A and B are shown apart, each in its own frame.
Chain A
Amino acid sequence: RKEVEQDPGPFNVPEGATVAFNCTYSNSASQSFFWYRQDCRKEPKLLMSVYSSGNEDGRFTAQLNRASQYISLLIRDSKLSDSATYLCVVNINAGKSTFGDGTTLTVKP
């Protein structure tokens, strides 16, 4: 079993749609959680950290469920520019990050 597993993609949605991604992690000692986005042939960029209480940044909402060991990312009112691969990232210790395989989102006009 992979340490970090994400929803298989791709997700193809129309503009304005709401889309949700889930990610599960296997190590209960995981300490911090992040969502990154990666555009084609570019480096990953931090989208948002995920806090235990859940957090929102504009159209993006991230939630963490430690008991079930999953995190989620909700995107509301999807824009064409949201098209990218979204990576779930889990830190266990010493800053060492484990990446999920990513979920590809394509937002269509």
Chain B
Amino acid sequence: GAVVSQHPSRVICKSGTSVKIECRSLDFQATTMFWYRQFPKQSLMLMATSNEGSKATYEQGVEKDKFLINHASLTLSTLTVTSAHPEDSSFYICSARDRGGMRDTQYFGPGTRLTVL
């Protein structure tokens, strides 16, 4: 299947710093990427939809000024957690939408585990 990479896989930072997470589709072009957050023993919660060349669409309750999304190319979307706080500690997962195959399918990156001290 298609491959989506995410970097970094794990990050530990101090409260108040900003963290950038990259999501890349390696073998297909993704006009749409999605950012999810997953807390322990909970389901994935969609944070925002990232569209190449336009502004991201945020889900209700997600602060767009805190979670900055940039989708500058067809293979790269970035999520920046600004002024991170301990409650932002979570597993952040991106997915990229592949519309080139028989089925409109999402492929997930391996996730980034963020720990804010």
Chain A: residues with CB nearer than 8 A to chain B?
32, 34, 41-46, 49, 87, 91, 94-102
Asked if B49 is at the interface (CB within 8 A of a chain A CB), the reply is yes
Nearest CB in chain B: distance from A5 CB, A:
11
Q: Number of contacts between A and B (CB, 8 Å)?
A: 47
In the complex, are the beta carbons of A44 and B108 less than 8 A apart?
yes
Query: In the complex, which residues of chain B have a beta carbon less than 8 angstroms from the beta carbon of A46?
Result: 1, 105-107
Asked if B42 is at the interface (CB within 8 A of a chain A CB), the reply is yes
Question: Shortest 5 CB-CB distances between A and B: which pairs?
Answer: A43-B108, A95-B97, A101-B43, A43-B111, A99-B44
Asked if B110 is at the interface (CB within 8 A of a chain A CB), the reply is yes
Query: In the complex, which residues of chain B have a beta carbon less than 8 angstroms from the beta carbon of A94?
Result: 32, 49
Chain B: residues with CB nearer than 8 A to chain A?
1, 32, 34, 42-44, 46, 49, 91, 93, 95, 97, 99, 103-111, 113
Q: How far is the CA of A49 from the CA of B105 in the complex (A)?
A: 9
The listed residue (B42, B46, B103) touching A97 by CB distance below 8 A is B46
Query: Taking A42-B111, A43-B93, A43-B111 as contacts, is the C-beta distance between A95 and B106 under 8 angstroms?
Result: yes
Q: Closest A residue to B51 by CB, please name it.
A: A94
In the complex, are the beta carbons of B43 and A87 less than 8 A apart?
yes
Q: How far is the CA of A92 from the CA of B86 in the complex (A)?
A: 33
Nearest CB in chain A: distance from B54 CB, A:
13
Q: How far is the CA of A97 from the CA of B104 in the complex (A)?
A: 11
Most buried by B among A34, A46, A98, A100: A46
In the complex, are the beta carbons of A97 and B108 less than 8 A apart?
no
